[in-house]
Structure 1
Amino acid sequence: MMQTVFVQIRCRPGTTYDVAFAIVLKEIHAELYSTSGEYDLLVKLIIPKGDDIGRYINDAFRDVDGIERTLTTLTFKAF
């Protein structure tokens, strides 16, 4: 079983394309979107069951230059 997590990313002005490219190179995402509004990117991650979600996200994004803030949304099977 896997855990689906969405991470919204706010980038420093002028760095959105660089941040997106760095994430693509890591090959950690299931989907990656550019968004409008308060955040610039939306990343869908599929995290293996049993992995620490906080550590996974921290390890995934800590070395990506240009990230100003993130907002993580956990999902739950409702149906």
Structure 2
Amino acid sequence: MPTIVVDVMPKSELLDPQGKAVSGAFNRLGVDSFTDVRIGKRFELTVDGEITDDVLAEARRLAEDVLSNAVIEDVVGIEVVE
């Protein structure tokens, strides 16, 4: 069954406390290869049947209206995985 993957991230201008905590843990472990960590969400929407333009449009609408909070998050990717 095909799947639509939706990636949501906090807006870049907002503080990401989870990412900050992970970055701090990296530093405590002596890992200095990474300058920033941001944590987002991934949604996998399994489709029963073919992914048509209408199904993809509905996934985009739901990504903006339901899966993300437009005030603090951006939908950064919608991808079809067969």
Q: TM-score range by the shorter chain?
A: 0.3 to 0.5
Kindly indicate whether structure 1 or structure 2 has the higher relative contact order, using CA contacts under 8 Å at least 6 residues apart.
Answer: 2
Could you state the TM-score of these two structures normalised by the residue count of structure 2? 0.45
Could you state the TM-score of these two structures normalised by the residue count of structure 1? 0.46
Query: Which is higher, the Rg of structure 1 or of structure 2?
Result: 2
Question: When you count strand as a share of all residues, which structure comes out higher?
Answer: 1
